[in-house]
Amino acid sequence: MKLHDSLIGLLLIAFGGWVLWQAQSFPAMPGQMIGPSTFPTLLGGLCALGGLLLVWQGRRISRDELVCIHEGWRIGSRVACVAVAVFGTLLLGVTFETVGFPVGGTLLLSALFYAAGLHRARWIAVSAIFVLTVHLVMTRLLYVPLPSGFVKGLL
Amino acid sequence: MYADFDTVISLVFNWNMVIVMVSCSAFGLFVGAVPGLSATMATAILVPITFFMEPVPAIAAIVTTAAMAIFASDIPAALIRIPGTAASAAYIGDLNALTLQGRVGRALGISVVASAIGGLFGSAVLMLAAPQLAEVSLNFTSFEYFWLALLGLSAAVMLGSGSLLKSLMSLLFGLMIATVGMDTTIGHPRFTFGFATLLDGVAFVPALIGVFAIPELVRTFVNRERTPPAAPVGNPFRMFDGLAAVLWRYKANLFRGSVIGTTVGILPGAGSDIASWISYAVSKRFSKQPELYGKGSEESLVDACSANNSALSGAYVPATVFGIPGDSITAIVIGVLYMKGLNPGPLVFINKPNEVMAIFVTFFLANILIVPFGLLAIAQASQVLRVPKLMLAPLILGFCVVGAYSINAAASGIIIMLVLGLFAYLMEENGFPVAPLILGLVMGPLVERNLVTSLIKADGAPLVFVERPIAAGLALLVCVVWAVPAVMRLKKGRMT
């Protein structure tokens, strides 16, 4: 998704303003003018200034439409694939400790293969073997405490 | 820096290191040879695994992976005219033209040997220059560090591709993300939105994986370009036929490419891709046959391929001496060095001389390994290039999830990776480069700490910032870095 520069500029101005506003609530160091707000204030100000320049530059140079969407985003199956990747990963992130990597990872990868147009059952097997191999390598060889979740007793 | 030779040897030459370097060579070659997967992404994925290694193997893993990936990106560039990483884009025309002329062996032979020689040259410079620079930098105070950090950030913005303003904005985003968490002065929580996991700041590794891997995965799912069939390689062991004569003829180019690569690599923010473009341009400017450039020039390949890998080593000079990354890969390495207690800076050369020297030796080994492993990779290239990215993408996402989680054993890493990854995708779609963002994220605490300390020391007298000679010199350099492009732009405006 491509946004017009002037629109991005406006977003940057708003964001810079928000940072400046937030920074004012940070306390100063005792006996000093300088403190936790100094750096964010500087950055927020620069961000708003950069946003202004981007608005000016966008209006001067480009007359494109405000929002331009890439061809690939108009194809339902591809959008579905990205949606599975994003929301699947988000769901896995939120439930990671409970569901665990072996089950959650296999489900995510299988769903992703399916959404990518790889419908055969062997892709479920590929997902399961990949996830189990990674899980075993990480937990047994590298001692990374990846949660086992539902299959805790089995692995 | 006085290293104990025996200890260095025992740190480098052991079975653990052999396993690490061989497996990372294979990994780097594979990722580099698959178009669209970058060397930075390969190293970012590797970081969580290095977390569980000793310091020397951990850095060796990253150095080997990056060196192999940068070289391997020449393979798809030659065979299917798609560069594996941005570093090969400068001379892709020559590589592919030689392939079409039936001289693919010569093209990849030059690439593999020039890459190795360039890398060895850069490693030698690193080994000689870094300790000397470290001695000078022992006298640095917060003022010098502030100007140095500013110089690094400025160079990164100026040398990046695309719009200057957008590069600057990207850098600001990185610096802002670095302010999340407890501040360094009085420990006040900033921009945490009440999340306890953000009190320590945005975790670096999940952010890194997100910024470099997630946008590529999204693009893979959305764009789904078909990879054209690869050209046949033939016998890779015949590649060295007549190669020595070519390299001898272009020995000055080999030296020049290595010097340019190392110099550009040392500049913060400028990596292998910029080094190869500059080296290619210089090569063409001074060539007796500039008309051959883009049509199968062997001379251009010698220059640009040697610049590629020497830049990679050069980038480690500011990274080890000052903790300022030369490119996105060294930004990752700095994170790993901190994790391993080898805090980059002049003191590491005094406190851990054996480890530092061992790391430098691994640079040489990684670049020597390019030749045998490169030949194997070239032999297997057709098989590697047959693997569609769409099939690899879910597996890479699996690695990313594990990597983002395992660094702190916290699921919040997965969320951070996802959020920053989607943000980076939007940034790239709109022409904002993501490398300055990572640079800002890495250098944010350094810049803020030195700025605040200097402001307190100055006590309202700004001239203190330029009172010391090195600080004044660095301040002048910062002014030059900003003024030169502005003057050039002004002149260009008047001429047109």
Q: What is the mean pLDDT of residues A120-144?
A: 86
Q: Decide if pLDDT at B306 tops 80.
A: yes
Confidence of residue B179 (pLDDT cuts 50, 70, 90): very high
A144 CB neighbours in chain B (<8 A) are: 48, 52, 402, 406, 409
Average pLDDT, chain A: 89
Rounded percentage of chain A residues whose pLDDT exceeds 90: 54
**B429 to A29: CB separation less than 8 angstroms, yes or no:** no
Residue A110 confidence class, pLDDT cut points 50, 70, 90: very high
Q: How close, in Å, is residue A121 to chain B by CA atoms?
A: 14
Give the DSSP H or E segment for B262: helix B251-266
Q: Please list every residue in chain A whose beta carbon sits closer than 8 Å to the beta carbon of residue B185.
A: 29, 34-36
- If you average pLDDT over residues B63-84, what whole number do you get? 79
Residue of B nearest to A97 (CA): B411
Residue of chain B whose Cα is closest to the Cα of A33: B456
* Contact: B426, A89; criterion CB under 8 Å: no
pLDDT digits (tens, 9 = 90+) for B245-257: 888 999 999 999 9
Give the pLDDT mean for A62-78: 82
pLDDT at B275 over 60: yes
Chain B positions touching A93 (Cβ under 8 A) are 401, 411-412, 414-415, 418
Q: Say if residues B213 and B421 touch (Cβ distance below 8 Å).
A: yes
Mean pLDDT of all residues in B288-310 = 87
- Residue B63's pLDDT band, with cuts at 50, 70 and 90, is confident
Q: Do B190 and A26 touch (CB under 8 A)?
A: yes
Q: Report whether B305 contacts B110 (CB < 8 A).
A: yes
CB contact under 8 A, B222 and A70: yes
A73–B394: do the CB atoms touch at under 8 Å? no
Nearest CB among B168, B190, B395 relative to A130 is that of: B395
Which of B169, B391, B422 lies nearest to residue A118, judging by beta carbons? B391
Res B420: pLDDT: 94
Taking CB atoms and an 8 Å limit, are B397 and A108 in contact across chains?
yes
Note the pLDDT of residue A100: 92
Instruction: With beta carbons under 8 A apart, name residues in chain A contacting B406.
Output: 138, 142, 144, 146
- Whether the predicted pLDDT of B315 surpasses 90: no
**Pairs of residues, one from chain A and one from chain B, whose beta carbons lie less than 8 Å apart:** 153
pLDDT in tens, B353-366: 888 888 888 888 88
Average pLDDT, rounded, for chain B: 82
The tokens describing B160, both together, are: 């990046």
Q: pLDDT, tens digit, for every residue of B158-176? A: 656 668 889 899 999 999 9
Residue of chain A with shortest Cα separation from B224: A72
**Which of B19, B177, B221 to mutate to probe the A interface, most A CBs <10 Å?**
B221
Least confidently predicted of A22-31, B79-88, B309-318, B352-361: B79-88
Q: How far is CA B471 from the centre of its chain?
A: 27
Give the nearest chain A residue to B460 (CA atoms): A33
Comparing B119 with B277, the larger pLDDT belongs to: B119
Distance of CA B187 to the CA centre of its chain: 33
CB contact under 8 Å between B418 and A93, yes or no, is: yes
Q: How far is B106 from chain A (nearest CA, A)?
A: 38
Which percentage of chain B shows pLDDT scores above 90?
A: 12
> Cα distance from B95 to chain A (closest Cα, Å)?
30
Pairwise pLDDT comparison (B175 vs B223), residue with the higher score:
B175
**In this structure, what token pair is assigned to residue B478?**
């910062």
CB contact under 8 A, A116 and B415: no
Closest Cα in chain B to A49: B169
pLDDT at B496 (0 to 100): 44
Cβ distance B398 to A134 less than 8 Å, yes or no, reads yes
Q: How far is CA B345 from CA A70, A76, B319, in A?
A: 45, 51, 8
Give mean pLDDT, residues B125-139.
Answer: 81
Rounded Cα distance between B206 and B403, Å, is 7
Say yes or no for a CB contact (<8 Å) between A70 and B390.
Answer: no
Nearest to B221 among A81, A96, A109 (CB): A81
The residue-averaged pLDDT of A86-93 equals: 95
Q: Which residue of A has its CA nearest to B163?
A: A54
- φ/ψ of residue B189, rounded to 5: -70, 135
Query: Helical H runs in chain A?
Result: 5-23, 38-61, 76-99, 101-115, 122-136
What three-state secondary structure class fits B182? strand
What are the tokens at B316? 């480690």
Q: A155 to chain B, minimum CA–CA distance in Å?
A: 17
Closest residue in chain B to residue A78, using alpha carbons only = B222
pLDDT tens figures, B19-51? 999 999 988 888 777 765 677 778 887 888 887
Shortest Cα distance from A14 to chain B (angstroms)?
14
| Phi, psi torsion values for B407, nearest 5 degrees | -65, -40
Helix-helix angle B251-266:B298-314, to 10 degrees: 30
Phi/psi for B56 (5° steps) reads: -65, -50
With tokens 């990779």, the residue in question is B377
Q: Which one, of B219, B229, B492, B215, lies nearest residue B385 by Cα? A: B229
Q: Would the CB atoms of B401 and A127 count as touching at under 8 Å?
A: no
